[in-house]
Amino acid sequence: MNIVLLGAPGAGKGTQAAKMVEVFGLPHISTGDMFRKAVADGTPMGVAAKGFMDKGELVPDDVVIGIVKERLSQPDCVAGFILDGFPRTAPQADALGAALSDMGRALDAVISIEVPREALVGRLTSRRQCRACGRIYNTMGEMPAVHGVCDDCGGEVYQRDDDTVATVTNRLDVYDKNTEPLIAYYETRGLLRPIDGDRSPHVVFADVRKALEG
């Protein structure tokens, strides 16, 4: 299954992707996680990306498209993939379509997780994440048993640099302007599966499963 997860910052793309990995066994490809790793590793791409991420702006299309194409060509993507946070612009969506077509493949579904904007700021500013394995926590919900230490891997649980109120507000504006139009883009192509994301994560996931398994 070739799946795209679409949704605003904080909609729960990463949270649902983790559940999908368990059930469907597909690789989770989060461009945000890839950039955060590049930042942590201090690569030239990471240094360049950090400037955009800290302001809540998008990393330029050519950079993002390049790393996703490379990732999709890896052997673990042969049986399918879960793309999280890509595409985010019309040129990225066109590039994805073209790259898959070149490989003789196509998307099966675009899961669109819909959450009202009022709920998103609170979710993002209360998020915590494991630096090592990426597991997502929330100070209003699930937190690790030992403060600051990931239950799964012992890694450091921290607050993302872009989860401040000012940056979150810009990320949401950038989403509305650049990414929200992709809902219509995929609806036109018959791929859109809208999901009400304003419910508890396991209830949302039950609908994600239904949308994918029919």
Q: Is 7 in the site for Mg ion (CB under 5 A)?
A: no
Q: Which does 150 bind (CB under 5 to 8 A by kind): ligand AP5, Zn ion, Mg ion, none?
A: Zn ion
Query: Is 112 in contact with 183 (CB distance < 8 Å)?
Result: yes
Could you say which of 36, 50, 88, 128 is catalytic? Answer: 88
> Would you say 109 or 130 has its CB closer to ligand AP5?
130
Number of residues that bind Zn ion (CB under 5 A): 8
Q: Is 31 in the site for ligand AP5 (CB under 6 A)?
A: yes
Site map for Mg ion, 11-50, x if CB under 5 A? --xx------------------------------------
| Whether 171 is catalytic | yes
Q: Which does 83 bind (CB under 5 to 8 A by kind): ligand AP5, Zn ion, Mg ion, none?
A: none
- What are residue 100's DSSP bridge partners? none
Residue with tokens 């036109």: 188
Number of residues that bind ligand AP5 (CB under 6 A): 35
* Binding site residues, ligand AP5, CB under 6 A: 7, 9-15, 30-32, 35, 52-53, 56-59, 64, 85-86, 88, 92, 123-124, 127, 136, 138, 141, 162, 171, 197, 200-201, 204
Task: List, by residue number, the catalytic residues.
Answer: 13, 88, 127, 160, 171
* Binding site residues, Zn ion, CB under 5 A: 130, 132-133, 135, 150, 152-153, 155
* Binding site residues, Mg ion, CB under 5 A: 13-14
